[in-house]
Structure 1
């Protein structure tokens, strides 16, 4: 199904971002039940419905041009949002190859890859890029290979080195994180960067998840959904920029809640990189306002019940506590049980 790109929208300042009816229809609503608790919700990343966010390994949608412009703005201010430790050079080329191959195969109207040995030609029509380069030679690209390709793909990417029975965040491009920082987490193990998450450790969630991830095989990727909420359609909610967005959590009122509060869902995709044996950790972020979400009343009803009954420790960790009750009160109108009460 061909992808049509919207004109440039903003994820900051005037926040002109909005979803079309088609983007709302394909939004990856993350709740299969009326309640939520941490779990190892990992599944094989087999292709699903054509046109859905699960159809391809790397999803490109109507917001492509806007998200790539946002990434460029973040990197202009803070180029260290992309980092590659020296021992991860091969994994960076691995990532470039995987992304180029899949984009060209899945979206041939927009991307093309031609190869003659190590001489490659990459064509990105939406961004008007035509780049000849020598695979394996960083001097033949305008920037380091991981940065080069991830400036052209939606979502964040961490590249995890596997050693000593653990995974280490030793490379990545992270410009739209949900309240974390690759500069802080760089070099940490899977166990270390998940240490702040409440309740899940007592349940053994991350121990089971790590064991699963360590055994991922080439060409057998896995995926999972994660979620939080964000005020305004702001992609860059990094730890570094907390001073720009943290105060917005206290500005939610019954009058603006539907427009300003957004459900933020991450489609996390994890394939094994064949040359380096590193694990690519893709974090594709989708935003939807409560107003847009409520166009599907079943979603609004379920979200009401999830947030109403969410354990306080999880609500605090996700940064929802200041405005959760306002959201729950607004969503109650879509829950027949709440209306009847």
Structure 2
């Protein structure tokens, strides 16, 4: 697979942008003109060629820049990676899954050679090559989850299954949408998801937990989630709120197209073989309103979704300060005609 990696930034001068190809494959999350929080889980099977769901872990034109941004975030706050001691086996499960997936799906970019427990991993885009003993904690100068978390786009949480629920007992989180790993690590399922509005009333989290507790090895699942952010910033963590929170006050009707971004998460869950833990993969995609509006269908649909969004969700997703301006801006793209079904441009 041939990819041209872009030189860009997700902070400070914000030079991130999507090529026409990246816009076309963006995972637009709305199949209807309204939105309410739901489980919306489907099998994580091989998607169409070129789609973000084609492979288990998506690698795109932003790969090198995102990995560089991960390293910057970790250098400023090493606590973005945390793992409780009993998750050691699950970390090696994570390393194996990511190495095998990337080397099988992107053989021009990654390779993995095995000689018993002696493995050689090569990451050509990042210039990394290591020979190590699988399962040996002294193989790297960091934990295996951190080692591979730095080399795969997105965030990762390892969920331990015990006592009839799931616990977020390890995580590599550098691009979270306004939540804190330091606060959530070790929490049970309902504690972790407690702040999400409407879900208790609708029983969404109870159903999701029951479903995931029965997740089978070799049968991963996925869903799309979304929020919005100002500027193409990956790290919108509570710890760094002073660096990005004030940007919400900078939106005007004249700069909505450039500053306001739809932020979509492709969330995938995999049962792991040795530890029986579940890997929760959270891959973030960003697109500003100018780029989104190159699809008339997307612009119309997103206008209608935002206009009708439940007030609790507006507040929970942090959209209050710029939602109305974005609706006003998008209204110019919506001629009132019916939006054709489907989620692609």
Question: Is TM-score (shorter-chain normalized) higher than 0.5?
Answer: yes
- In the other structure, the counterpart of 1:25 is 24
Equivalent-residue separation in structure 2 for 1:3 and 1:219 (angstroms): 28
- In the other structure, the counterpart of 1:214 is 213
Indicate the SS of the match to 1:162.
strand
- In the other structure, the counterpart of 2:340 is none
CA contact (8 A) 2:225 2:264 kept: yes
- In the other structure, the counterpart of 1:201 is 200
Does residue 109 (structure 1) correspond to residue 111 (structure 2)? The answer is no
The 5 Å alignment of 1:193-272 reads 193-272=192-271
Indicate the SS of the match to 2:98.
helix
Can you list the C-alpha shifts for 1:225-280, whole angstroms capped at 9, x where unaligned?
00000000000001101111111111100111100000000000000011000000
CA RMSD of aligned residues (A): 1.1
- In the other structure, the counterpart of 1:119 is 118
Indicate the SS of the match to 1:271.
strand
The 5 Å alignment of 1:26-175 reads 26-175=25-174
Indicate the SS of the match to 2:271.
coil
Can you list the C-alpha shifts for 1:17-50, whole angstroms capped at 9, x where unaligned?
0000000000000000000001110011111101
Indicate the SS of the match to 1:281.
strand
Can you list the C-alpha shifts for 1:130-184, whole angstroms capped at 9, x where unaligned?
1000001121113110000111000000000000111100001000000001110
Contiguous gaps of at least 5 residues in structure 2: 338-345
CA contact (8 A) 2:5 2:60 kept: no
Equivalent-residue separation in structure 1 for 2:4 and 2:146 (angstroms): 23
Q: 1:216 to 1:228 in 2, by over 3 A?
A: same
Equivalent-residue separation in structure 2 for 1:228 and 1:248 (angstroms): 15
What is the TM-score of this pair, normalised by structure 1? 0.98
Indicate the SS of the match to 2:199.
coil
Can you list the C-alpha shifts for 1:81-113, whole angstroms capped at 9, x where unaligned?
111110000000000000000000000000000
What is the TM-score of this pair, normalised by structure 2? 0.97
Equivalent-residue separation in structure 1 for 2:170 and 2:4 (angstroms): 29
CA contact (8 A) 1:3 1:61 kept: no
Aligned-pair CA distance for 1:3: 4.1
- In the other structure, the counterpart of 1:308 is 307
Equivalent-residue separation in structure 2 for 1:145 and 1:47 (angstroms): 26
Indicate the SS of the match to 1:69.
helix
Indicate the SS of the match to 1:201.
helix
Equivalent-residue separation in structure 1 for 2:15 and 2:164 (angstroms): 45
Equivalent-residue separation in structure 2 for 1:131 and 1:257 (angstroms): 45
Indicate the SS of the match to 1:202.
helix
Equivalent-residue separation in structure 2 for 1:51 and 1:165 (angstroms): 39
Contiguous gaps of at least 5 residues in structure 1: none
